[in-house]
């Protein structure tokens, strides 16, 4: 039998969000393992590209050296970008832990389609208070954090990421 929210009694007892298996909160390691595995594969790729670049530079021919130097920039760029994303992920997790401890995590209570997509008009309507909070207090990492998730719900991933980066920068600077 389903509750008003569409979840069954056994789902409620398991703490599930309606999907099969344990709730996401009880298995956070899967995301970490996935990120580490992808990063290891990327590291292998970067190592191979750097090896090819070093071989080109080692020839001593001006054109090969120039190409090798250019190719060597790619792995350095990748390492920098991956490091930046891991730093952001760690900061976002600390922000989420801080908000959770105070009972202020954003609540995802927007209506959804049968396929699980957020109702766009409801997301747009719920967006205004979060934008107003940032306008009222532009140095609040918490306001930017909530705005990021409002952008995400509204389907604007680019602005969601920008707002999350702003929240992370404000969070790190408050120390």
Q: Per-residue pLDDT for 148 more than 50?
A: yes
Do both 136 and 95 map to the same domain? no
The domain tally of the chain equals 2
Do both 133 and 96 map to the same domain? no
Q: Per-residue pLDDT for 25 more than 80?
A: no
Across the range 114-130, mean pLDDT stands at 84
Domain span at residue 70?
28-101
**CATH number, domain with residue 125:** 1.25.40.10
CA distance 48 to 42: 10
Q: Per-residue pLDDT for 34 more than 60?
A: yes
Instruction: For residue 107, tell me if it sits in a domain.
Output: no
Is pTM beyond 0.75 here?
no
Of 101, 128, 155, the one marking the end of a domain is: 101
Q: Per-residue pLDDT for 171 more than 50?
A: yes
CA distance 130 to 58: 55
Instruction: For residue 86, tell me if it sits in a domain.
Output: yes
Instruction: For residue 36, tell me if it sits in a domain.
Output: yes
CB 131 within 8 A of CB 163: no
pLDDT for position 28: 61
Q: What is the pLDDT of residues 40-90, one digit of tens each?
A: 998 898 889 989 999 999 999 999 999 999 988 888 888 899 889 889 988
Instruction: For residue 159, tell me if it sits in a domain.
Output: yes
CA nearest neighbour of 118 among 163, 76, 160, 56: 160
Do both 94 and 127 map to the same domain? no
Instruction: For residue 97, tell me if it sits in a domain.
Output: yes
Confidence bin at 2 (pLDDT 50/70/90):
very low
């Amino acid at each position: 039998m389903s509750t008003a929210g569409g979840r069954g009694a056994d789902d409620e007892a398991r703490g599930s969000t309606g999907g099969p298996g344990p709730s996401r909160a009880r298995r956070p390691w899967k995301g970490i393992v996935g990120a580490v595995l992808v990063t290891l594969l990327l590291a292998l790729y970067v190592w191979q590209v750097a090896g090819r670049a070093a071989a080109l530079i080692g020839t001593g021919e001006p054109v090969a050296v120039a190409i090798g130097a250019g190719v060597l920039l790619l792995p350095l760029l990748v390492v920098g970008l991956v490091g930046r994303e891991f730093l952001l992920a760690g900061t976002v997790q600390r922000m989420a832990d801080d908000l959770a401890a105070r009972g202020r995590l954003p609540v995802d209570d927007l209506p959804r389609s049968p396929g699980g997509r957020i109702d766009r008009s409801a997301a747009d309507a719920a967006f205004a208070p979060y934008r107003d909070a940032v306008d009222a207090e532009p140095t609040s990492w918490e306001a930017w954090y909530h705005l990021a998730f409002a952008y995400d719900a509204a389907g604007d991933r680019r602005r969601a990421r920008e707002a999350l980066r702003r929240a992370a920068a404000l969070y790190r600077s408050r120390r």
